[in-house]
Amino acid sequence: MSELFSPDSLFHNAILGGLGVALLCSMLGVYLMLRRLVLIGVALPQASAAGIAAVFWLTGHGHGGGGGTHGLALAGSLGATFGALTLLIAGRRRAGQPAEWSVGALYAISAAATILFVALNPKGDIEMAGLLRGELLALTAADLRLIAIVLVAVGALFVAFRRDLLLASFDPEFARTIGRSPLRYDALLYFLIGGSIAVGVMTAGPLVVFGFLVLPALAALRIAPSLAIAFAISAAVAATSFLGGFQLAYSADLPAGPVCVAMAAAFWLVIAAIAHLRPHRRAAGLALLLAVLAVPLGCADLHARAAARNAAPLPRGTLPDLAGRTVVVLPAANATGQPLHVPSNLFWKDLPHAIGDPFAASAPTVPMLLQQRASAELARRGIAVAPPAAVLDALPHPPDEPLAAARAAALAGFPGPVLTGRLSRFTVTNDGLLLVRLELWLIDPASEKVIWSGAARRPVAVNAALTAQEVLLDAGGPIFAEAFGAL
């Protein structure tokens, strides 16, 4: 658990961003439920998804495009959400027909448009997956800042105008008699809902946004004795569901969005069942206690199972029997002609490099991450390895030539066999394939002979990976399975 949530985790941005979206949706969801606008909560995320699909189709971009792609997605999402919202409000004022009619039509049109735009886009398959599960794993520091700004702005407006929003929702006529304009505060509420949905869909996808708009609020309104407590319970359910769901998805290797939503649904069902059986206050306490206990216990169990599965030894493949000897894994020589730097998930860690600090620690590279992964893969095959960090500390710039690298390792105080290599290709194609060429040699420094060699040359599918870290996370296993002869 701590590994997943540590500041250096690959999922750091995804967790913080997703948590921000979950909290935003849970706050606004209380008002959506109370004002019986739940259908808007379905239709607007779908309209937002259609907006993203339309912009990507028109510009030829895809979710994996990086850089300005997120700006385009945000523009599409905001444009479609506020466009749909304006049409709904204008239609409601003019026609005098039930709001559900227009909202239902909006949902049907948006869903169809999303599928059509995706079908028209040459990168359609990847697009569909990206749209449905959102961009959580590809969140950059800039995206995270945007979500933080939206969260703080929405939270501040919510707190500042809490009384006016409540009056405009609960009794608009009374609000007018004490000088509050319900129209103005309705517009504010719709603005907050629209903005949050647009950012949320771009970040986490329509499923997560709708799920967290509805389920935490439903759970909270079952037991909350007051509106303030309803907001607090909704936020707590959302945060716990998201963090627990993310941990569960990570442990069980399942898609994060649906698992988080399923977790929120489980909360709602537990709370609804207990609220049905017990009076309000006691139900609130008991349900929260059970949920708070159940989520970490369930996660811990699944995590333990996954850890046991990951810890199960793998066949040694073509590797020689190295019983009793500790292998030293060096970063492979970079022969790609590219720097292969891996940007940090934490923007402030890259800041010293950006401002030219000569004392800044060297940025991680793909060969360094491959070194860590190779060490872990050897360990899973029952082979003792020297800690990769200690090796890098002692030998930060090993020679590129394999034999010289082995000698340098021995001189640096590592007497065991040395695994070194050469990375001559590391390219991700537009079709989501990693083209890799990695040659590995295991050298006995005593005899200065190559006692084993292997290579990985097969393309690896990394469709779901959108950052260098994710590419390495997805591709590391197949690369070393091939190189160590387990394929």
Question: Among residues 2, 94, 178, 323, which is the contact residue for another protein, using CB under 8 A?
Answer: 178
Our CB check for another protein shows the closer of 230 and 330 to be 230
Cβ 429 to another protein shortest distance, Å: 53
The answer to the question of residue 487 lying near another protein (CB under 8 A) is: no
Site for another protein in 4-43 (CB under 8 A): 33-34, 36
User: b/e string for 112-146 if b means 16 or more Cβ within 10 A?
Assistant: ebbbebbeebebbebbbbbbbbbbbbbbbbebbeb
CA angle 17, 22, 27 (to 5 degrees): 130
Q: Is 68 helix (H, G, I), strand (E, B) or coil?
A: coil
Site stretch for another protein (CB under 8 A), options 226-234, 383-391, 399-407, 421-429: 226-234
Closest CA relative to residue 369, chosen from 479, 216, 246: 479
Our CB check for another protein shows the closer of 7 and 179 to be 179
Our CB check for another protein shows the closer of 158 and 246 to be 158
Sign for the pseudo-dihedral over CA of 174, 179, 183, 187: negative
Cβ 148 to another protein shortest distance, Å: 23
CA–CA distance from 233 to each of 126, 150, 282 (Å)? 36, 21, 14
Cβ 81 to another protein shortest distance, Å: 25
The answer to the question of residue 276 lying near another protein (CB under 8 A) is: no
Residue 441 sits at φ, ψ, to 5 deg, of -135, 140
Question: Among residues 229, 389, 390, 487, which is the contact residue for another protein, using CB under 8 A?
Answer: 229
Contact 10, 473 (CB under 8 A): yes
Question: Among residues 225, 285, 320, 339, which is the contact residue for another protein, using CB under 8 A?
Answer: 225
Say how many C-beta atoms besides its own lie within 10 A of residue 165's C-beta: 21
Our CB check for another protein shows the closer of 99 and 450 to be 99
Cβ 167 to another protein shortest distance, Å: 6
The answer to the question of residue 177 lying near another protein (CB under 8 A) is: yes
Question: Among residues 7, 173, 321, 323, which is the contact residue for another protein, using CB under 8 A?
Answer: 173
Cβ 231 to another protein shortest distance, Å: 10
How many residues lie near another protein (CB under 8 A)?
25
Our CB check for another protein shows the closer of 226 and 447 to be 226
Rounded to whole angstroms, the Cα distance separating 29 from 21 reads 12
The answer to the question of residue 306 lying near another protein (CB under 8 A) is: no
Closest CA relative to residue 133, chosen from 51, 215, 78, 204: 204
Closest CA relative to residue 169, chosen from 230, 102, 103, 216: 230
Cβ 294 to another protein shortest distance, Å: 24
Question: Among residues 72, 113, 215, 221, which is the contact residue for another protein, using CB under 8 A?
Answer: 221
Cβ 163 to another protein shortest distance, Å: 5
Our CB check for another protein shows the closer of 100 and 431 to be 100
Rounded to whole angstroms, the Cα distance separating 183 from 177 reads 13
**Helices and strands (DSSP H and E) totals, the chain:** 18, 7
Rounded to whole angstroms, the Cα distance separating 296 from 303 reads 10
The answer to the question of residue 226 lying near another protein (CB under 8 A) is: yes
Q: Is 419 helix (H, G, I), strand (E, B) or coil?
A: strand
Question: Among residues 118, 224, 259, 263, which is the contact residue for another protein, using CB under 8 A?
Answer: 224
Our CB check for another protein shows the closer of 279 and 324 to be 279
Q: Residues near 393 by Cβ (< 8 Å), separated by ≥ 6?
A: none
CA–CA distance from 453 to each of 27, 94, 231, 320, 337 (Å)? 57, 75, 60, 10, 23
Binding-site string for another protein from residue 131 to residue 170, where x marks contact by CB under 8 A and - marks none: -----------------------------xx-xx-xx-xx
Site for another protein in 382-441 (CB under 8 A): none
Contacts from 299-305 at CB under 8 Å and sequence distance 24+? 299/1, 299/244, 299/247, 299/248, 299/251, 300/1, 302/247, 302/248, 302/251, 302/252, 303/1, 303/247, 303/251, 305/251
Cβ 178 to another protein shortest distance, Å: 4
Site for another protein in 449-478 (CB under 8 A): none
Closest CA relative to residue 80, chosen from 111, 59, 104, 39: 111
Which residues would be at the binding site for another protein (CB under 8 A)?
33-34, 36, 160-161, 163-164, 166-167, 169-171, 173-174, 176-179, 221, 224-227, 229-230
